[in-house]
Amino acid sequence: MQTSVFQHLARLCQAGLDLIFPPRCAGCQRGGTLLCSACLATMQPLSTAYCQCCCTPLAQPTASCPSCQSHPLQLHGLRCVNLHRAALRTTIHALKYQGERRLAEPLGLLLAQAFRYYDLHADALIPLPLHAQREQERGFNQATLLARACATHLKVPCLEGVVIRQRSTRAQVGLTAQQRRQNVSGAFALTPDAPSRLRMYQRVVIIDDVSTTGATLEACAAPLYQAGIAEVWGLVLAQPVTLIQDVTETML
């Protein structure tokens, strides 16, 4: 009861502040809203042919991209809303690095829409965990905020605290696909109560903001598979444009 009252008061305070200091769109800086309709229109799920494994856009319809043909993802599949560019990239950065936590709601809705668009099925969503030190430094885990918002729209449970990042890893930027897999190998583990909490679930979707090669999602999925989860999928807001270009060029 106290929590709901506090949340209501917080919303009223925020509404008052918005009247005095109108919000600006995170994508284009246009005044009046957190995320305008024009920017949202550029963030719709991919309409082109894509790899059925990792969701990489393809030059022509085929089952999988060259990368997945040689090194299949250790996931049932990965799906993304769109590419990490333009308004979507700017909005993710505003949430992740500028602390604009309210953006988790419209971005979480985009994830829910993509979930339905790709016809995914899940008994629960799991946010990709940050290492405790990184989360303390940032003040929040963006994946958790996104997963909560997405789960609310989908009306499925959001399971927090079942997987932890048990060791800190170096940044993945600049690493090759193989180096990325090695970097995060064994980085995730189940919490002591996770097996009992997961017993009733057979299909879960891991939520994150951006995925480059899927290596971190794979590493997070490993202990879930070991716990007996039958299907583990990944759902993210964006994939980097550079990855898409590289894979597409190999097919031309």
Structural domains counted in the chain: 1
pLDDT band of 16, cuts 50, 70, 90: very low
Mean pLDDT of the region 137-156: 97
**Is residue 39 assigned to a domain?**
no
pLDDT value, residue 62: 73
Residue 188: in which H helix or E strand, if any? strand 188-190
| Single-letter residue type at 83 | L
**How deeply is 166 buried, as exposed, middle or buried, from its count of CB atoms within 10 A (0-12, 13-18, 19+)?**
middle
**Is residue 247 assigned to a domain?**
yes
CA-only gyration radius of the chain, Å: 18
Q: Which residue segment(s) compose the domain that 135 sits in?
A: 49-251
Q: Which of 21-35, 40-54, 144-158 has the highest mean pLDDT?
A: 144-158
pLDDT value, residue 37: 94
**Is residue 33 assigned to a domain?**
no
Vertex 132: Cα angle to 227 and 167 (nearest 5): 60
pLDDT higher than threshold 80 for residue 17: no
- Report yes or no: 207 and 150 within 8 Å, Cβ to Cβ: yes
Which residue do the tokens 């990489």 mark?
A: 56
pLDDT value, residue 135: 92
pLDDT band of 71, cuts 50, 70, 90: confident
pLDDT value, residue 65: 87
167: domain CATH number is 3.40.50
pLDDT band of 155, cuts 50, 70, 90: very high
**Is residue 24 assigned to a domain?**
no
- Report yes or no: 177 and 215 within 8 Å, Cβ to Cβ: yes
**Is residue 116 assigned to a domain?**
yes
Give the separation between CA 140 and CA 27, rounded to whole angstroms.
21
Helices (H), the chain: 2-20, 37-41, 66-70, 86-97, 104-117, 132-138, 142-154, 177-184, 194-198, 215-226, 241-251
pLDDT band of 89, cuts 50, 70, 90: very high
Alpha-carbon distance values, 247 to 34, 43, 101, 115, 251 (Å): 34, 21, 33, 24, 7
pLDDT higher than threshold 80 for residue 53: yes
pLDDT value, residue 5: 55
**Is residue 34 assigned to a domain?**
no
Mean pLDDT of the region 51-80: 88
The string of pLDDT tens digits covering residues 167-209 is 777 666 666 677 777 677 778 999 999 999 999 999 999 999 9
Distance of CA 200 to the CA centre of its chain: 23
Nearest in space to 166 (alpha carbons), one of 101, 96, 106, 219: 219
Mean pLDDT of the region 213-233: 95
Give the separation between CA 74 and CA 71, rounded to whole angstroms.
9
**Is residue 29 assigned to a domain?**
no
Pairing assessment for the beta strands 203-210 and 188-190 based on DSSP bridges: unpaired
**Is residue 153 assigned to a domain?**
yes
